[in-house]
């Protein structure tokens, strides 16, 4: 696979997940000991894609290569769960860790996709969703598709055009053992995103700010930190 590789060394990159997905293991409060927790985790794994991925792995990633340590459940969930039709740089069979170098880029990305979801279900623009920052460091070589002219189809604004092309490109890169793709954000001009293929590359996991995205009759939400909302 002939492509440009660039080293991305970035501290505290930003991934956003909705508040609804930010919670401890479902049965955590019932565990009185490590042994009890192990039994309860086995029970939870019957319906948990993340638990199954940690036990069995995902296509191309053995179970021992899944994330461990603080925040492992959030890291592994990114690889265990994928949209039914996949995303820009992953098919439905395996997930990727999508992040941005700056919070504004992640916010614009999630705002775009949640707005499209609201429109797709025919709902009014009357919604409030909270997002939690998942922060992590990266230090690895990635396929670099920034600055390409003309832009390839996988960077097209229309997901119907971009996603099939991007999934094929990403699958080829992943099969060749490459780490992921660094690319210009399609939703935030000047922003940079990274699609990471392997859990072990997510380093120094931390939780960051909470953001509120609020739609009030318009397709563009207001965006504010929860600390600012409370003032």
Determine what percent of the chain is predicted with pLDDT higher than 90.
71
Average pLDDT, integer, range 139-166: 97
- 153 phi and psi, to 5 degrees? -60, -35
Nearby residues of 129 by Cβ (< 8 Å), 6 or more positions away: 18, 19, 114, 212, 213
Rg (CA), the chain: 18
Question: CA–CA separation, 10 vs 221, rounded Å?
Answer: 28
Average pLDDT, integer, range 114-139: 95
- 229 vs 147: which has the higher pLDDT: 147
pLDDT (tens digit per residue) in 53-101: 776 767 888 878 787 888 899 999 999 989 999 999 999 999 999 999 9
Checking if the pLDDT of 47 tops 60, the result is no
Average pLDDT, the chain: 87
Question: CA–CA separation, 180 vs 195, rounded Å?
Answer: 5
Helices (H), the chain: 34-44, 49-56, 72-80, 103-120, 159-175, 226-229
pLDDT (tens digit per residue) in 107-123: 999 999 999 999 999 99
Average pLDDT, integer, range 177-203: 97
């Amino acid at each position: 696979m002939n492509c440009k590789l660039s080293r991305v060394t970035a501290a505290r990159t930003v991934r956003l997940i909705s508040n609804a997905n930010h919670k401890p293991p479902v049965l955590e409060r019932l565990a009185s000991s490590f042994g009890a927790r192990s039994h309860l985790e086995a029970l939870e794994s019957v319906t948990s894609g993340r638990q199954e991925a940690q036990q069995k792995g995902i296509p191309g990633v053995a179970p021992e290569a899944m994330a461990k340590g603080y925040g492992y459940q959030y890291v592994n969930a990114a690889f265990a769960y994928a949209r039914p039709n996949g995303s820009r740089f992953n098919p439905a069979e395996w997930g990727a860790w999508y992040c941005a170098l700056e919070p504004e880029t992640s916010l614009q990305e999630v705002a775009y996709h949640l707005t499209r979801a609201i429109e797709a279900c025919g709902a009014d623009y009357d919604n409030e969703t909270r997002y939690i920052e998942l922060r992590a460091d990266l230090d690895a070589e990635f396929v670099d598709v920034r600055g390409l002219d003309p832009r390839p189809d996988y960077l097209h604004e229309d997901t119907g055009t971009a996603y099939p092309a991007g999934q094929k490109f990403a699958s080829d890169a992943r099969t060749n053992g490459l780490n992921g793709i660094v690319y210009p954000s399609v939703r935030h001009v000047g922003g940079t995103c990274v699609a990471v293929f392997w859990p072990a590359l997510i380093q120094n996991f931390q939780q960051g700010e909470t953001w509120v995205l609020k739609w009030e009759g318009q397709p563009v939400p207001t965006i504010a930190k929860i600390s600012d909302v409370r003032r």
